[in-house]
Amino acid sequence: MSQLKANVYDFAYGVDDPRFRGVYPSTDLQEVEPETSWNQQEENHECPKNKNGVLGRALALYDFEAASQYELSFSKGDFLILTKKQEDGWLIGYKGDEVGLVPENYIQML
């Protein structure tokens, strides 16, 4: 039986820093109660209420091309997962496996 692993992102370090991403074996992780599945959230148009550090989902209103390695490029119509406010006008967001800063005025929270 293969051992499960979890990917971890640490925003205290830049994306090029080897400490930014980590992989932990399942033996180092604690068990948690399962939450509502993403399929059920889609049907209800809901997001987790910041239980796991998630602010919510957002829809990209415009194309955005990253100007630095810390920003996240996305296209109009993309769905993003937002985890926290970074500074005025910027949020940390995910698009698939990509992560970076997202300008708040380019997205609409769902």
**Residues 26-59 pLDDT 10s:** 666 666 666 555 545 444 444 445 555 678 899 9
101 falls within a domain? yes
DSSP structure class, residue 56: E
59 falls within a domain? yes
27 falls within a domain? no
Domain that holds residue 86: 37-109
Q: Which of 14-18, 46-50, 85-89 has the highest mean pLDDT?
A: 85-89
Helix (H, G, I), strand (E, B) or coil at 94: strand
31 falls within a domain? no
- 70: domain CATH number is 2.30.30.40
8 falls within a domain? no
86 falls within a domain? yes
Indicate the pLDDT class of residue 86, thresholds 50, 70 and 90: confident
Decide: pTM greater than 0.75.
Answer: no
Domain total for the chain? 1
6 falls within a domain? no
17 falls within a domain? no
Mean pLDDT computed over every residue of the chain = 76
Q: Residue 13 is encoded by which pair of tokens?
A: 């370090």
